[in-house]
Structure 1
Amino acid sequence: MKAPAPVLLCLLIVLAAHGEESLPHHELTYAVLEQLDISGNLQAGEAGLELPQELVVQVTQAEEPVADVPVRFAVTAEPRANATPQSQARLSDTLVRTDPLGFARTRLQLGRATGDYQVSARAGNRELAFTSTALRRGWYFVATAQFLGALALFLFGLYYGSKGLRRVAGKRLRALLFSLTANRFLGVLVGIIVTTVLQSSGATTTLLIGLASAGILGLGQALGVILGADIGTTLTVQALAFRLYDYALVAAGGGFLLMLAHRRLRNIGQAVFGFSLVFFSLGLVVAATEPLRYLPATASAVAFLGRSPWLGLGFALIFTALVRSSAATIGLLVGLSFTGLLDLRAALPFILGANIGTGFAAVLASWRAGVEARRIAAGHVLFKVAVVAVCLPLLPWLARLIAATAGELPRQVANAHTLINLFAVALFLPLLGPYRRLLEKLVRSRPAEQFGPRYLDPRAVETPELAVAQATREVLRMGDRVQRMYLRAFTVFSERDKEGRRDLVAADDQVDELETGIHTFVARVAQEEMPEELSRRVIALFHATDALEHIADIISKNLMDYAHKNIEQGLAFSAEALEDVRDFHAEIAENLAGALACLATWNTDLASRLAAAKNRGIERQRQLQNRHLARLGRGRCEELDTSSIYLDFISDLERVNFQCAQIGFAVLESAHARRQRTKTRR
């Protein structure tokens, strides 16, 4: 009995469907061509637009491609916001037969809503799932702007937080550096502490350059501190490796409240607020760079960096030299590692480059400094270069070693930075003696060092305690030069010394240069927030510098003018007149020495005696004028010939005494402000 035609037709359809479902020996895989994934899985594109890459699968049998196999594609999941058919995702083809290479291709146009989309590919009873992400239109520009903004916020937070920390630890920081000994282990410890406060090993080295230029510490002491500084900067990176950015705004709010709560808590609040911004900006970096992991070019770039370590090293070196902080560079590297964009092998050259780049700020700071400062800067850079030269050939082995220290990539990056710098300490600490001698041979004194401020480090401005100490030392240096000018002035006048006169006139130009440098530096320091006591001391230094410059002008423009007349005209002073001028000059020399001692010690008793000497100087001038008039009354001809110069000379000596007294008044005003504040507290 023959079956009816409709029944046979249904049976054929069922058998055909069953045949499509059962491809017993066929395998369905994501398409790979010459070991390169061309499947288009895990793509990202702009919402409403077609994905840049096709979705491709491959059908094989016994690892050989199979042609003419039907593959069905379907959108299986998309954001709920795509409620209408017009807003939903669409495939260019839903049923595709494989080509001779076994490939089946289709294109996906994303829906209007951002979010994740899933497409299934089915051949027989085999099925694969494709995941794609729709990003908002123009996300490239938004992500770039967000990354740059996050970078700016990161650097600002690092600067602002470390500035608050420096203010909290200012006095202790200065005491630590000033009490350094030749003990290399103590130097390493001090370097760790100071860099934890300054948040930059480059800043620590620059500070050491200023102290070395000031003669406060030598090369041997500084080298140990540099090694410790390299460890200190790793502590910041270790903290950044914790995923704390989700809580950063809470901490920032707490820091802001501390800043408002009380003056004593303001600096602590600033430190908390600043470092909270650092963590918050890391979260922004993660959000801005997250879409990059969907781009096929990203994987290629990471693979290229792994094969070309010099490229990553050079980029990190330049970036670190610009921002002057290896912690900033590696902190951003930690942020990128949260997204999974980099692997450890690609990250290591960046870490090595950042370690070298941080030394360039010190090199620039020491360019016009003394030989000891240049040796410190060179020592810092050579430390880094030597460590990189050892580590670079060992990158594969180093990557395996560091990968064993932690399971998560951010922690591995932080550990790599720490281990590399610990290796540097272990390598160089026993060799500091020979290394110091090598630097002394490599970096020699210049034939003629250019005159100028020696102790003023512009980077110390952000730490007012240290900046005021440096300014005080520079003012004392200026005072020493003025004192030598003053002590020599009477001898040049009385002995008609032409060469000496030229020297003193030229010395005034050097004093003017110091005065300009000190005033500029002190004016910058005055703009910083600081305690009232320190602010008053800054004002006192400004007035003291002004007074010393006036004394130098009196010597070069007035006293040396009298010396010139004496040399040219051969003036004859009486023995009594010359003795009076010599005695008055000697009395004021003692007051000038007292003024410098007053600046060095800020002793109020000494300042009081100095201020009282103002009236004594005026009285002494009157006595000498009366003695001169008495000699004129006795008809002494030489007194008449030199009367004008004599009276002008003692008048100018009294003006020098007045400027010395001004220094005493400045110190007293500074101390008075401190006593007033103490009484208020009581």
Structure 2
Amino acid sequence: MTHLLNLLAAIALLVWGTHLVRKDTLRVLGANLRRVLAQSVGNRFTAVLSGVGVTALLQSSTATALIISAFVGQGLMSLPAALAVMLGADVGTSLMALVFSRDLSWLSPLFIFLGVVLFIAKQSTSTGYVGRILIGLGLMLLALSLVRASANELTQAQAVRDLLATLGSDRLLEITIGAVLSVLSYSSLAIVLLIATLANSHVVTVDVALGLVLGANLGSGLLAVLTTLRSPIEARQVPMGNLIFKLMGVALMAPSMGLWLSHVRPNVADAATTVVLFHFMFNALAALLFIGLTQVVARWVAYWLPIPKRNALNGRHRHLDASALATPSVALACAVREAMHQADVVETMLRGVLDVIKTNDLDLAKSLQKMDDTVDRLYSDIKYYLTKISREALNDKEGRRWTDVISFTINMEQIGDIVERILEDIENKKIRTGREFSPAGMAEITELHGDLVNNLRLGMSVFLNDDPRDAIKLLEEKTRFRDLELKYAANHLNRLTDNTLESIETSSLHLDLISELKRINSLICAIAYPILESTGALAPNRLRQPAAAPGSPDSAI
């Protein structure tokens, strides 16, 4: 019983080490990996190579599948190109299995020691995350040595030998067990390394081990399908296509395993190398044979998982992809795109205000007010989505971006509420009462409204591009807008003094309107503050220093 518990603990440690390496590699290189994948889909062969490289770093084809699924779901990559990347991703996983199958246990204490030193010295920095990657690699190597030791002890028990001997009589059972283990462990790499170690320790025969490896490959494809079950159809197509490739590969390789055992096994030194070489050849041959079928399989998947036609009510493509949450940097990009849509809705509401004032269109006013419900719903969805992104997996820059997105969506939600209130006032105090602004007052409102729409567009650009120069320009517009608001309020009071009839009738609405427009402008300009603060362009406070009294020491400076 003790030896079994030791084996289970070693397997758990292997899976945990793989998880640490994958998670912290995404944290350190997430944005760069996404850029490499996005830029390498010009043709199928570069897509395969990018899949090999990215997955070799992540040590998980499932993680690569989730990133690629998010890209396809957002319309950033075509389905055939994504399937080509996944063929390379499987090759990348098998390459790492070849590396870890070597006896590298002597590196385990070195990696763990260096990793702990780096992590403790530089926590919450890129150096600290590199330390965690080294710790994960060290734990993987340590776990493999523990698996070997525990497996050797278990093989001494006759009951264990009799149980494992039953696997040799059923190829389908071997594939099923390998697939289940891969899904449960969330890592086909860990399971393949485990199978290789068990085969080398004579816990299972090489013949059984090869069947389990086929199952582990199938399980990695099934895992990606299960992980994206609740994602949009576009994101679910990539795992489904990859699973089809794996099913085709298993169907081709299962009958030919005898050839591998008779021709390759005698020329290989140990069982572990035989197993991992088989794993590599399976994925390499799949990539070579199926690279020309990406278009065909993409059509199959599009037929089985058709993208539903959308009507005018539900036709907008949502950017908050649940499958992207496994890759926080990708999920953050999804939240930014949804926040930009929220800002587009707010801009539509704001632009419509002037049309309502000029045309007295009650139906337009009602439809614009209803749009605030959309703004509120988008705010809630984005906020909830961001809370599901692991803050620990974000680096410092991404963490600040996370805060910027929250602040931006809050400001847009508040602007939507103000616009709704403005429309209600126009409806009650102008349209239903039959009143009109004076020509001079209408000209002032038109100018303020035009400046406000331009500032909103500038604020959206500042949020999207994170440009300090545009942020400075936005703050300059805030000062100019404030001066205009004070000037036009004074002009209105002068018209009241002159007993201008229209100004008297609409005085309350006019003053409230320019005051609300100023509030909206302040919320827009608030977008600039986090960007300028991060660059050190803002002073600790903006209060003017008091003038020194005559005769004081400061007055002599």
Q: TM-score range by the shorter chain?
A: 0.7 to 0.9
CA separation in 2, counterparts of 1:381 and 1:497? 55
Is 1:345 paired with 2:210?
Answer: no
Question: Which residue in the other structure is 1:54 paired with?
Answer: none
- 5+ residue gaps, structure 1: 1-139, 677-682
Question: Which residue in the other structure is 2:554 paired with?
Answer: none
Cα deviation for residue 534 of structure 1 reads 4.0
Is 1:579 paired with 2:439?
Answer: no
- For 1:186, the aligned partner's letter is T
SS in 1 for 2:42: coil
Question: Which residue in the other structure is 1:657 paired with?
Answer: 521
- For 1:76-475, list aligned pairs within 5 A: 140=1, 142-245=2-105, 247-260=107-120, 265-404=127-266, 406-448=268-310, 454-456=319-321, 464=329, 466-475=330-339
Deviations 1:181-224 (A, max 9, x none): 33111101111111122221111111111122222222132121
Deviations 1:588-633 (A, max 9, x none): 1111111111122211110001122222222222222223323333
Deviates more, 1:318-327 or 1:494-503: 494-503
- For 1:443-592, list aligned pairs within 5 A: 443-448=305-310, 454-456=319-321, 464=329, 466-523=330-387, 527-528=391-392, 531-556=395-420, 558-565=421-428, 568-592=432-456
Cα deviation for residue 580 of structure 1 reads 2.7
CA separation in 1, counterparts of 2:436 and 2:306? 51
Cα deviation for residue 242 of structure 1 reads 1.2
* TM-score using structure 1 length: 0.72
**Distance change >3 Å, CA 381–CA 561, structure 1 → 2:** farther
* TM-score using structure 2 length: 0.87
CA separation in 2, counterparts of 1:418 and 1:619? 70
Identical-pair percentage: 27
SS in 1 for 2:535: helix
CA separation in 2, counterparts of 1:451 and 1:288? 55
Say if 2:126 and 2:395, in contact at 8 Å, map to a contact too.
Answer: no
Say if 2:66 and 2:327, in contact at 8 Å, map to a contact too.
Answer: no
Say if 1:240 and 1:331, in contact at 8 Å, map to a contact too.
Answer: yes
**Distance change >3 Å, CA 656–CA 223, structure 1 → 2:** same
Say if 1:256 and 1:270, in contact at 8 Å, map to a contact too.
Answer: yes
Deviates more, 1:330-339 or 1:400-409: 400-409
SS in 2 for 1:294: coil
Say if 1:526 and 1:535, in contact at 8 Å, map to a contact too.
Answer: no
CA RMSD of aligned residues (A): 3.0
Deviations 1:12-67 (A, max 9, x none): xxxxxxxxxxxxxxxxxxxxxxxxxxxxxxxxxxxxxxxxxxxxxxxxxxxxxxxx
- For 1:639, the aligned partner's letter is S
**Distance change >3 Å, CA 648–CA 363, structure 1 → 2:** farther
- 5+ residue gaps, structure 2: 541-557
CA separation in 1, counterparts of 2:368 and 2:194? 56
Deviates more, 1:514-523 or 1:656-665: 514-523
Question: Which residue in the other structure is 2:553 paired with?
Answer: none
Is 1:639 paired with 2:503?
Answer: yes
CA separation in 1, counterparts of 2:522 and 2:163? 72
SS in 1 for 2:116: helix
Deviations 1:52-105 (A, max 9, x none): xxxxxxxxxxxxxxxxxxxxxxxxxxxxxxxxxxxxxxxxxxxxxxxxxxxxxx
SS in 1 for 2:16: helix
Say if 2:37 and 2:51, in contact at 8 Å, map to a contact too.
Answer: no
CA separation in 1, counterparts of 2:260 and 2:26? 35
2:482 aligns with one of 618, 622, 633: 618
CA separation in 1, counterparts of 2:365 and 2:255? 64
Asked which structure has the greater CA Rg, the reply is 1
Say if 2:319 and 2:334, in contact at 8 Å, map to a contact too.
Answer: no
CA separation in 2, counterparts of 1:272 and 1:292? 30
**Distance change >3 Å, CA 504–CA 409, structure 1 → 2:** farther
- For 1:644, the aligned partner's letter is S
Deviations 1:410-466 (A, max 9, x none): 1111111111111211121112223333333332122456978515556556655x4
